[in-house]
Amino acid sequence: MAKQDYSLSPKIDQVGILDRVARITARSIKNESKMQGLMMALNMIDLTTLEGADTDEKVKQLCYKAVHLHDSIPNLPTTAAVCVYPNFVKTAVKALKGSNVKVASVATAFPSGHSSREIKLMDTKIAVDNGAHEVDMVISRGKFHSGEYNFVHDEIAAIKEACGKARLKVILETGELGTFDKVRRASDIAMDAGADFIKTSTGKIKPAATLPVTLVMLEAIKDHYYNTGRMVGMKPAGGISNSKLALQYLIMVKETLGGQWLTNEWFRFGASSLANDVLMQIAKQNSGNYQSKDYFSID
Calculate the dihedral angle through the C-alpha atoms of 65, 33, 226, 44, rounding to the nearest 10 degrees.
0
Instruction: Tell whether 106 is covered by a domain.
Output: yes
pLDDT at 120: 97
Residue 295 counted as domain residue: no
Tell whether 293 is covered by a domain.
Answer: no
Q: Which pLDDT score is estimated for 287?
A: 66
What integer pLDDT is reported at residue 6 of this predicted model? 86
Instruction: Provide the annotated active-site residues.
Output: 136, 199, 235
CATH (domain of 16): 3.20.20.70
Distance between CA atoms of 294 and 231, rounded to whole angstroms? 40
Domain span including residue 152: 6-286
Q: Which residues contact 75 (CB under 8 A, 6 or more apart)?
A: none
Q: Which residues of the chain have pLDDT under 70?
A: 1-2, 287-299
pLDDT of residue 181: 97
What per-residue confidence (pLDDT) applies to 4? Answer: 82
How many angstroms separate the CA atoms of 267 and 80, rounded? Answer: 10
For 70, list phi and psi in degrees, rounded to 5. Answer: -165, 110
pTM of the model: 0.93
Alpha-carbon distance of 80 to 102, in angstroms, equals 6
Instruction: Report yes or no on 299 lying in a domain.
Output: no
Query: How many domains are contained in the chain?
Result: 1
For residue 30, what pLDDT is reported? Answer: 83
In a domain, 100, yes or no: yes
Q: Is residue 296 assigned to a domain?
A: no
Residue 294 falls inside a structural domain? no
Summarised one tens digit per residue, pLDDT across range 170-217 is: 999 999 999 999 999 999 999 999 999 999 999 999 999 999 999 999
Whole-angstrom distance, CA of residue 275 vs CA of residue 66 = 9
